[in-house]
Structure 1
Amino acid sequence: MAVSTGTPSPAKPVRRARGEGQWALGHREPLNPNERSKKDDIGLNVRARIETIYAKGGFASIDPADLRGRFRWWGLYTQRKPGIDGGRTAVLEPHELDDEYFMLRVRVDGGQLDLRQLRAIANVSIKYGRDTADLTDRQNVQYHWIRVEDMPAIWEEIEGVGLSTTEACGDTPRVVLGSPVAGISTDEVLDGTPAIREIVDRFIGDPTLANLPRKFKSVVSWLPDVPYEANDISFLGVVHPEHGPGFDLWVGGGLSTNPMLAQRLGAWIPLDEIADVWVGVCKLFRDYGYRRLRSRARLKFLVADWGVEKFRSVLEQEFLGRALLDGPAPELPDRPIDHMGVHEQRDGLFYVGATPVVGRVTGTALAKLADIVEAHGSDRVRLTPHQKLLVLDVPADRVDSLVVALREIGLEANPSPIRRSTMACTGIEYCKLAIVETKAKAAEVVAHIEATGLVAPISVNVNGCPNACARTQIADIGLKGQLVPGPDGEMVEGYQIHLGGGLALAQGQQPGFGRKVRGLKTTALELPAYVERLTREYLAGRKDADEAFAEWVLRADEEVLR
């Protein structure tokens, strides 16, 4: 017979499933430093402090929580202090990496600029940014060397022409990408520009949408001339057999260290409902997105866990209050579209697409561009999501002189394939996250391949760290910056190499992140020679002139790729 001691056995603790920090499930407690900062004060509120305190007191007066957090809600990041090598990127504290200057992004939704806006962008660069200006792959313009003291004057200038830096960064709805030929293309059936404008006018700067789990990237485009599979939400043009032209809805794309491609929800959205569906998805992300771990906070993780069927059901039932219409998949063009060169518009005028080298321009060049555009009878310029630009509305008899004038300021309308298809992120020159240099190295690759006379349709994307701002995983040759062993065993700047990635931008293309060959790396010094060698191997080994680089890579021997 058992004898009781009178002392109950200690109860085993009940293990509760750890939540993901989803507001809709009651997980409101801040779960990481970023969430705590956002709970303390909404990022949008920092503008008043910039204008009334920091612009007067200078860099030393800035509260650290504002400096490395809330400033992003207005497009501002501290830039990297010069002279800090890539080996110390992840070792130094933020205040040790910070320079007393800022990178500033100006959002250009849909990539659309008129001449007043272009001149304002150029003027800010010249007056306040040491003549820096980069065209980004988000259709933004990015400055460097910006002082906090100058921000009130900068805002006055760019907002005076209808541009803004509102939510150009931060855990917010970022710039909305659009086709650079929206409204003028002979291939476009329905112009998505009204929806982009409605989204921006109604929702950008809305405090109820200014605390998302992470960034929220959007696309509205009839044509697949934008990276729609690499965004959180995309609306891509499609013709419904019963209801006519509209847009196909995609969600959950994103690259960085855990790349995922967007998935179709199978829903057809009419143009006048895009903004309502967009904000429904945005609110779903706000309420159900993961906030416990910042590394899992992008929408793509929720979509991957839920699947598209559940995602669409929750969107319809909880955020739209109605069912969406089913719709067909978009039809893709025969070939990818990049708009470089001379093309006729639907109105009989012409547009000219031209490229700088990897998006790098200057305020001086943009000011000259404005003069050139005006002298050729145009008032409109478009930025592309590939670090390039278009001049619209050019009369036929002015096209040739425009092409020549653009070349004189470093914008090439008849670029070599390598210049046409190479992109690079900011890199260690200014970025605190970067490990290696990117812009100058990518320009060196372009110059080297051009000097060889090799002509091959190969895209090269150069990134300074694993975050894939230059869309590393979806390039023919994607280069992720890291330190690698040099000839003498010392660690030097270099790149891990991804091969054969891409998106479905044309018929027959299979989207994917390409091939990783174990241990395939190159030093920065050897990079131009490596790209040349691989280009020659591709040209010699492809089945025919129509075999794409990505197809060749999949069947090539590893030794050929090294």
Structure 2
Amino acid sequence: MAVSSSTPAPPDTAGAPAPPARSARSARRVRGEGQWALGHREPLNPNERTKADDDPLNVRARIENIYAHRGFAAIDPSDLRGRFRWWGLYTQRKAGIDGGRTAVLEPHELEDEYFMLRIRIDGGQLDLDQLRTIADVSRRYGRDTADITDRQNIQLHWVRVEDMPAIWRQLEAVGLQTTEACGDCPRVVLGSPVAGVAEAEVLDPTSAVDEIVRRYVGNQDFSNLPRKFKTSISWLVDTPYETNDIALLGVDHPEHGPGFDLWVGGGLATNPMLAKRLGVWVPLAEVPDIWAGVVGIFRDYGYRRLRNRARLKFLVADWGVERFREVLEREYLGRRLLDGPPPVLPEKPIDHVGVHRQRDGRYYVGAAPVVGRTSGTQLAQLADVVAAHGSGRVRLTPYQKLLVLDVPADRTESLVTALGGIGLAARPSTWRRGTMACTGIEYCKLAIVETKARGQELVERLEERLREFDADISIHINGCPNACARTQTADIGLKGQLVVGPDGRQVEGFQVHLGGGLGMAQGQTAGFGRKVRGLKTTAEELPGYVERLARRYLAARSTGESFAQWVVRADEAELR
């Protein structure tokens, strides 16, 4: 791909005045972070060496010309466990390895000779040809597996390296790609699943999302970042924008009109931080350049020495927003940015499930699979149902849900019924609507516990025991501490770990995090929520624990009090 002329170049430090004097300790600390812009470019850890030896994007040629013909055993380890990710490929976990061995086995002992394949779907936008193609690839090459992720991607499993050339041909023929779906690079761009159709949307950012993908995905200027880089661009507050490296939210400027408010430095995992406002207003036409400037800062000033400090959030925390904005303006844009107002936040999260009117008088219908688990067969059935109801567009959401757009008013109820007939509920229970789960130990080499099956079991149990529950509670289930399912930002966040069972033996279980939330007006959420010391549950006891907690909330809540608000004031004994 040609390099765009607007791609920010690394700062030119040749002939520049010497930086201010620092103490020896300070100089060692700054240089030791491995920041390119400070002249520290030599490889600092195995990941950096792998990227320096060969741009990861180059591995596709080896997959197509060598590995697809010679098979799994021929794959170079640095490609297999490193560069393959830039093309959406992770080795999946070998069956039968329990969670207690996750941290003690070597990578080659954990991995199977099959891959998870992540298909990037920027903005969650799919037409029916694309949906049918994913369904066909799933059934033909992935044993009919498919999961909708909370990054608006679809993941397949059981993929063989021998089949990748054929898979790429099929996907790319309909405008899909796996390029940089994983790796230390710009991942999928989150967007509103109702961009371009929502009644409340003033400015559709789809053109900016498309331009970012066109210019920069697969561009070697940004294919070697310190770690992954996550983006959210939406007029509506219907994405988890606070957990992204960069987010742009719709806002009306009193003088300049509609544009976007810029946030940077969000991320979860074991050291969670929420994104921070830079206080600038960005017009739609400038979004791609501003985005590239932020990525450029991350590339050049991001910390590369230690992987656990290599996310943008650590740089933002150390610099602060004033310095970050100054560097962005002076070194990457060459101009000042306009100050702007903050966005207006909703009173509760927006997931678009159900039947909703579009701006053109037609409707969109949002439906929920259970914890994002679907299949190629179900996706093919979905395509048939959508076509039969006069629509040609489907959207995926950052909450493992899907929407059908452009439905005539007189076909909505028929569509709701037809979706239910293939296992997709457009009027789901609170529990089905609010529960998400990461991949878990079934396929993930990092996982400690099962997640998808536990999530399905939990939803079924709660639907049976609390069928008439009249409040919204989100439950996010994660198989390890990495927070792919955003555990810290859920009403009930469950972090997988081994716990001591009733008989004194270690069993699968969860650390419990309560009262988190994102994207709501101040006072409506507790942010990262509340940790109660030692609050854990075994996997077997999980349904009973959640039921007990939900009943206590119903009994104790005041009028209009959300679960997160109740958690803040509840006694610890009530939360156990």
- Find the partner of 1:44 among 32, 36, 57: 57
| Alignment: residue pair count | 548
Match of 2:213 in 1: 200
Cα distance in 2 for partners of 1:97, 1:510 equals 39
Work out which of the residue numbers 525, 529, 548 in structure 2 matches 1:533: 548
Q: Which moved more, 1:239-248 or 1:394-403?
A: 394-403
Question: Would the aligned equivalents of 2:241 and 2:519 in 1 still touch at CA under 8 Å?
Answer: no
Q: Hey, what does 1:523 align to over in structure 2?
A: 538
Shift of 1:396: 1.0
1:284 alignment partner AA = I
Q: 1:394-405 counterparts in 2 under 5 A?
A: 394-405=407-418
Q: Is the 8 A contact 1:30 1:39 kept in 2?
A: yes
User: Residue 427 of structure 1: which of 426, 440, 453 is its match?
Assistant: 440
Distance, in Å, in 2 between the alignment partners of 1:130 and 1:65 is 27
**What is the deviation of 1:508?**
3.8
> Which range moves more in the overlay, 329-338 or 207-216?
329-338
Aligned partner of 1:23 among 25, 33, 36: 36
Matched, 1:282 2:315: no
- Number of the residue aligned with 1:139: 152
Deviates more, 1:157-166 or 1:333-342: 333-342
Provide, for residues 125-166 of structure 1, a one-character-per-residue CA deviation record: whole Å limited to 9, x for no partner.
000000000000000000000000000000000011001000
CA distance in 2, matches of 1:129, 1:116: 18
Alignment partners' CA distance in 1, 2:346 and 2:572 = 32
The structure 2 residue matched to 1:486, chosen from 497, 501, 505, is 501
395-404 or 457-466: bigger deviation: 395-404
**Residue in 2 that maps onto 1:78:** 91
TM-score, structure 2 length as denominator? 0.94
Separation in 2 of the partners of 1:515 and 1:334? 20
Letter in 2 for 1:550: A
- Structure 2: distance between partners of 1:555 and 1:470: 26
SS of residue in 2 equivalent to 1:498: strand
Q: 2:374 aligns with which of 361, 365, 375?
A: 361
What letter corresponds to residue 253 of structure 1 in structure 2?
G
Give 1:337 shift: 1.3
By how many angstroms is 1:228 displaced?
A: 0.4
Q: Is the 8 A contact 1:425 1:470 kept in 2?
A: yes
CA RMSD of aligned residues (A): 0.9
Matched-pair contact (CA < 8 Å) for 2:526–2:565: no
C-alpha deviation, 1:503, in angstroms? 1.1
1:559 and 2:573 matched: yes
> Residue 17 of structure 2 corresponds to which residue in structure 1?
none
Cα distance in structure 1, aligned partners of 2:478 and 2:40: 36
The reply on whether 1:462 has 2:473 as its aligned counterpart is: no
- Does the CA-based 8 Å contact 2:525-2:564 persist in structure 1? no
Instruction: Give me the whole-angstrom Cα distance separating, in 1, the residues matched to 2:165 and 2:183.
Output: 20
Counterpart of 1:548 in structure 2 is: 562
Q: Could you list the runs of 5+ residues in structure 1 that have no partner in the other structure?
A: 1-13
Aligned to 1:251: 264
- Residue 509 of structure 1 and its aligned partner are, at CA, apart by 2.4
User: Which has the higher mean CA deviation after the structures are superposed, 54-63 or 508-517?
Assistant: 508-517
TM-score, normalised to structure 1, is 0.97
1:358-404 Cα offsets, whole Å, 9 max, x none, are 00000000001001100100000000000000000001111111111
- Contact 1:335-1:507 within 8 A present in 2 as well: no
Paired AA for residue 186 in structure 1: E
- Which whole-Å CA distance do the structure 1 matches of 2:510 and 2:247 have between them? 31
Of 346, 359, 365 in structure 2, the residue corresponding to residue 346 of structure 1 is 359
Cross-structure match for 2:337: 324
Structure 1 segment 130-529 matched on structure 2, within 5 A: 130-452=143-465, 453-455=467-469, 456-506=471-521, 508-510=523-525, 512-529=527-544
Question: What secondary structure is seen at the aligned counterpart in 1 of 2:533?
Answer: coil
CA distance in structure 2 between the aligned counterparts of 1:511 and 1:113, rounded to whole angstroms: 34
Gaps of 5+ in 2: 1-23
Answer whether contact 2:517 2:525 (CA < 8 A) is retained: yes
User: Contact 1:460 / 1:479 at 8 angstroms: preserved in 2?
Assistant: yes
CA contact (8 A) 1:125 1:133 kept: yes
After superposition, what is the alpha-carbon deviation per residue over 1:519-545, rounded to whole angstroms, capped at 9, x for unaligned? 00000000000000000000001112x
Q: Which amino acid aligns with 2:63?
A: I
Shift of 1:334: 3.6
Larger radius of gyration: 1
Look up the SS of the partner of 2:530 in the other structure. Answer: coil
Task: Name the CA distance, whole Å, in 1 between partners of 2:348 and 2:537.
Answer: 31
Could you tell which deviates more after superposition, 28-37 or 261-270? Answer: 28-37
CA distance in 2 between partners of 1:512 and 1:256 (Å): 15
Q: CA deviation at 1:507?
A: 5.8
Q: Secondary structure at the match of 1:518?
A: strand
Residue 506 (structure 1) shift: 4.1
Shift of 1:29: 1.3
Amino acid at match of 1:144: H
1:432-462 CA distances to partner (integer Å, 9 max, x unpaired)? 0000000010111111110012413111000
| Native 8 Å contact 1:336 1:506 kept in 2 | no
Q: Indicate conservation of the 8 Å contact 1:225/1:505, yes or no.
A: no
How far did residue 480 of structure 1 move?
0.2
Residue 409 of structure 1: how far off its partner (Å)? 0.9
Distance in 1 (CA, whole Å) between partners of 2:529 and 2:480 is 18
Q: 1:91 aligns with which of 104, 107, 113?
A: 104
Partner amino acid, structure 2, of 1:57:
R
SS at match of 2:152: coil
- Matched letter for residue 505 of structure 1: M
Contact 1:44-1:73 at 8 Å conserved across structures: yes
Supply the distance in 2 between the matched residues of 1:454 and 1:483 (Cα, whole angstroms).
Answer: 33
